[in-house]
Structures are given as C-alpha cells and as structure tokens.
Copies of this chain bind each other. A is one copy, B any other.
C-alpha cells in the first residue's frame, strides 16, 4: 500500500513548484533567479559552468536566466582574462538587494508550504530530503566543499 511514494512526492513537489512560481512571479522573478543569486552570494563569483554545477541548473538554461538577471542589473558578466572562454558572474549591490527580497519571499512560501508541520518535523523532513539529494546529486548538495572551481586566477 505504498506504491504511492513516488507520485506522492511529485504531487507535493507540484504544490511547492506552484507556490514558488507564484511567490517569485509576483515580483517578476522565478526559482532560477533565487537559486543563482543565493549561490553567488554564499559561495562567491563563478564561471557559468561552475555555477551550473553548484546550482544543478543546466548550462543551456543558465544562459537565459543570467540574461534576465543581467537585464535587471542584478549580476554582471565579465570574460575571465586568464581564460577567455569563461564569463565570471558577479553579483551587483542591486543584486544583493534582490536576493534579500527573494529570500524573504522564499521564506513566506516555505511557511505556507510547510504550514501543517512543526519545526521539529520540518527539520526531520529537511534531513530526509537532504539525504536523498546527497545520494542523487553528489555534487553541490549544500556546502560544496569543492572549491577551486570558481573564478580564481
């Protein structure tokens, strides 16, 4: 009676997805923006390829998302002089404000989503999900530990 697991998760995910999209969409953003800005702030500037690895966002999707962020003036793209194949992505001050804004919205979304759960239960859930994620996405789960892949000289 538990062949429901997989679609149960996808169902909850759908709601999470929708709530995130709504919350972010209300200020003209989307999930990718939040993920990218967070990663850039918490782990520093990076090339697009490195960013994609850190955030688990596909390279091809990154282009568009970064274009949007660049258009909004939230990030800058500078070709790495030491390796001209790379674009070094840096957050602007305006981008930091944006990140704060999105983080706040994310918090609201989260409270809404996890409403019926106590703090303890939320921690348990987070722990379980974290383990699943670590298992399926060995790279860049939370604190990467693998540095030196960024934009260094």
User: A residues touching B (Cβ–Cβ < 8 Å)?
Assistant: 2-17, 19-20, 31, 34-35, 56, 103, 106-107, 109-110, 113-117, 121-126, 128-137, 142
Q: Which residues of B contact A56 (CB under 8 A)?
A: 11, 14
Q: Measured between alpha carbons, how far is A13 from B9 in the docked complex, in Å?
A: 7
Q: Measured between alpha carbons, how far is A94 from B4 in the docked complex, in Å?
A: 22
CB distance from A32 to the nearest CB of B (A): 10
Q: By DSSP majority rule, is chain A's interface helix, strand, loop, or mixed?
A: helix
Flag if B4 contacts A142 (CB, 8 Å): yes
Q: A7-B35, A9-B13, A110-B5 are in contact. Are A116 and B130 (CB under 8 A)?
A: no
Q: Measured between alpha carbons, how far is A63 from B114 in the docked complex, in Å?
A: 32
Flag if B106 contacts A132 (CB, 8 Å): no
CB distance from A72 to the nearest CB of B (A): 20
CB distance from A95 to the nearest CB of B (A): 17
Q: Measured between alpha carbons, how far is A122 from B128 in the docked complex, in Å?
A: 9
